[in-house]
């Protein structure tokens, strides 16, 4: 984490920026004696891009939090290695982590050291997607996204189910089986607490991949159990249990 030499105008710039943003905003300036002092704030940065990277990997030395009356908060700090620019990004609201499911991060932006130009960029580029993300989190808090039902876990096996939306779900307690699932295109979804093979593959391709998983797992002594597929001609062709290695048909 490269050391920083903080500029002396961040506090004044933050006040000028806050005064020019739509609505009522206030700014709070803070200096940090050490890197770990910034973590309480930077760990809340709602950004998967450059702003989040900079906040996590550089010693900021100081920062300003610009807050709106309704609780929205923006983190402002020097752009590392660029003396005439700042970086600004949204801070996550206080909400259960489930409320962030399928909410796109309102990634922050780099702004010039001119509060007039900077406020125009924040208003046009950052605030609309930040407000949209906040509304989605609030909606998810009061109307949680339904979780897909988990397959019934069978010890020493991979348990699968064919969901009504077409995705194939899988759970397992066998560590070696996870690599096989990933190799077949399953991806782990923490919110649903299971591996999912997307419906976008189509029935035929899903069946082929599930059969390939069954055959590979059978070779290491791991079985596959599956609930009845959703009613469709392709689904009914899916075997409920993997074929034994000696009789398994080749995957095409």
List beta partners, residue 168. Answer: 162, 197
* Residue 230 tokens, joined: 């959703």
3-state secondary structure 138-162: HHHHHCCCCCCCCCCCCCCEEEEEE
Q: What is the pLDDT of residue 3?
A: 44
Q: What is the pLDDT of residue 7?
A: 62
Element (H, E) at 129: helix 127-142
Q: What is the pLDDT of residue 228?
A: 62
Query: How many C-beta atoms surround the C-beta of residue 188 within 10 A?
Result: 14
CA 86, 102, 36, 81 dihedral sign is negative
> For residues 160 and 189, is the Cβ–Cβ distance under 8 A?
no
Coil, strand or helix at 12: helix
Q: What is the pLDDT of residue 90?
A: 98
Element (H, E) at 66: strand 62-68
In eight-state DSSP terms, residue 97 is G
Averaged in consecutive runs of 10 residues, what is the pLDDT profile of the chain (252 residues)? Answer: 61 97 97 92 94 94 96 96 93 90 92 96 97 95 83 86 90 92 92 91 93 94 78 41 38 38
How far apart (Å, rounded) are the C-alpha atoms in residues 119 and 126? 10
Q: Are strands 157-162 and 168-172 parallel, antiparallel or unpaired?
A: antiparallel
How far apart (Å, rounded) are the C-alpha atoms in residues 223 and 177? 10
Q: What is the pLDDT of residue 6?
A: 56
Write b or e for each residue in 75-109: b if 16 or more Cβ atoms lie within 10 A of its Cβ, otherwise e: bbbbbbeeeeebbbbbbbbeeeeebbbebebbbbb
Coil, strand or helix at 42: helix
Name which of 103, 190, 191, 192 is nearest 139 in CA terms. 103
List beta partners, residue 169. Answer: 161, 196
């Amino acid at each position: 984490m490269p050391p920083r030499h903080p500029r002396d105008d961040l506090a004044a710039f933050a006040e000028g920026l806050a005064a020019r943003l739509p609505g009522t905003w206030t700014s709070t300036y803070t200096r940090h004696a050490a890197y770990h002092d910034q973590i309480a704030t930077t760990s809340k940065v709602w950004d998967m891009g450059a702003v989040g990277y900079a906040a996590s990997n550089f010693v900021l030395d100081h920062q300003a939090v610009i807050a709106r009356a309704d609780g929205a908060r923006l983190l402002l700090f020097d752009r590392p290695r660029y003396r005439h620019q700042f970086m600004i990004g949204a801070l996550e609201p206080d909400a259960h982590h489930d409320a962030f499911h399928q909410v796109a991060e309102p990634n922050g932006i780099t702004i010039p050291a001119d509060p007039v130009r900077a406020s125009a960029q924040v208003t046009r580029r950052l605030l609309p997607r930040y407000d949209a993300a906040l509304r989605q989190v609030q909606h998810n808090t009061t109307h949680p996204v339904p979780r897909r039902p988990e397959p019934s876990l069978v010890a020493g096996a991979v348990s699968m189910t064919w969901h009504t939306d077409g995705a194939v779900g899988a759970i397992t307690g066998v560590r070696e089986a996870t690599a096989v699932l990933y190799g077949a295109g399953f991806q782990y979804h923490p919110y649903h607490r299971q591996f999912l093979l997307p419906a976008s593959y189509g029935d035929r391709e899903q069946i082929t991949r599930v059969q390939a998983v069954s055959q590979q797992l059978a070779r290491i002594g791991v079985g596959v159990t599956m609930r009845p597929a959703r009613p469709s001609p392709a689904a009914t062709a899916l075997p409920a249990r993997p074929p034994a290695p000696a009789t398994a048909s080749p995957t095409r």
